[in-house]
Structure 1
């Protein structure tokens, strides 16, 4: 049987390509609201960020998503992003890659 192709996406902060499962999608909808999209199925313009706390901290420092989506994003969103990534990292350490 032929091996399955692993979908790759580019991390918006580092510019590196990662398997899609190792990233989280952030999406801006038509109304201009920016949200986390853990399912990667929400409608709107999306950008990916790696599941690494250092990468998320760098995104907050450089205000990466403000630039990518051309909207002013409050610091609370970046704090929520960092908390989500912390949670996902802890899950991976506890349960392993799934």
Structure 2
């Protein structure tokens, strides 16, 4: 009976070891797949950013790199926002 009991223990230890090894291998393969997916996505982002650099520069080339036009629009937008905010504050009840 004792011999049979040790055999069951060795079989259960062996199965446990196989399950642990299978889990480690599965985790390793999953990590490798994740790394490959991240690298693929990073390559796609780099290619997209290169296209954006080229296509994004086209409007500024068409405008002759006129940044002052944008600054003027931003200033006028800020003035309008400031005026609207002051009007909102004026309409609030004073307590």
Give the TM-score category using the shorter length: under 0.3
Quick check: which one's strand share is greater? 1
Q: Which has the larger radius of gyration?
A: 2
TM-score, normalised via structure 1 length:
0.25
The structure whose RCO (Cα within 8 Å, separation 6+) is larger is: 1
